[in-house]
Amino acid sequence: MAEAFNDIVLPVDKRARYAAVAEEIASVLEGEANLTARMATVASMLAASFDDYFWTGFYVVDPDKPGELVVGPYQGTLGCLRIAFGRGVCGAAAATRRTQIVEDVESFPGHIACDSRSRSEIVVPVIDGSGRLIAVFDVDSERPAAFDGLDAEWLERILKQVFG
């Protein structure tokens, strides 16, 4: 019988841990095309794998309101529902289609504080197979400067693997 994901012992090293989770995500999602199921699984599995992931989830491009993100599947405390492109860290990632790493949220102009415990943040754009921006993936930490280039590299890789 296959071992349940929740029972897997994850490596301590961050790179090795991302590699292990990426493999598990691919295996769990094999054959599942539904976008909500895919987003919910990515958010759940990543949030469960890293202590620094305090808020973990997607803001999806609203097809009915161009230029606006609406909250999607997430793990964590209540997130704000809507974010305009260009506003806050998520809006910056959506507008520029570039990953944003914020070591201190208080120093980011226009940062949207959904939970005052958040100290640092990473937001990665989610691009589909035809090059369309479909969402951004946002992770907040209670620890300052919790995210670096390694998180960006692996999150970009995982999101491309799942949604690209």
Q: With respect to ligand SME, which residue has the nearer C-beta, 15 or 97? A: 97
Task: Identify which range of 1-9, 32-40, 42-50, 89-97 contacts ligand SME by CB under 6 A.
Answer: 89-97
HSE-up of residue 49 (Cα within 13 Å, Cβ side): 27
Paired tokens of 7: 């029972």
92-95 long-range contacts, CB within 8 A, separation 24+: 92/123, 93/123, 93/124, 93/125, 93/136, 93/138, 94/59, 94/61, 94/69, 94/125, 94/133, 94/136
Using CB under 6 A as the binding rule, whether residue 140 contacts ligand SME is answered as yes
HSE-up of residue 153 (Cα within 13 Å, Cβ side): 8
**Count of residues in the chain:** 164
Q: With respect to ligand SME, which residue has the nearer C-beta, 19 or 87? A: 87
Task: Identify which range of 5-13, 17-25, 80-88, 148-156 contacts ligand SME by CB under 6 A.
Answer: 80-88
Contact 148, 112 (CB under 8 A): no
Least gap, CB of 20 to ligand SME (angstroms): 26
List 22, 111, 137, 139, residue binding ligand SME (CB under 6 A): 111
Instruction: Please give the residue whose beta carbon sits closest to ligand SME in the complex.
Output: 88
Using CB under 6 A as the binding rule, whether residue 83 contacts ligand SME is answered as yes
HSE-up of residue 5 (Cα within 13 Å, Cβ side): 17
* β-sheet with 55-61: strand ranges across: 82-84, 68-75, 55-61, 133-141, 120-127, 100-102
Least gap, CB of 145 to ligand SME (angstroms): 15
- Tell me how many residues contact ligand SME (CB under 6 A): 15
Least gap, CB of 159 to ligand SME (angstroms): 17
Least gap, CB of 69 to ligand SME (angstroms): 9
Residues that bind ligand SME (CB under 6 A): 55, 79-80, 83, 88-91, 111-112, 114, 118, 121, 138, 140
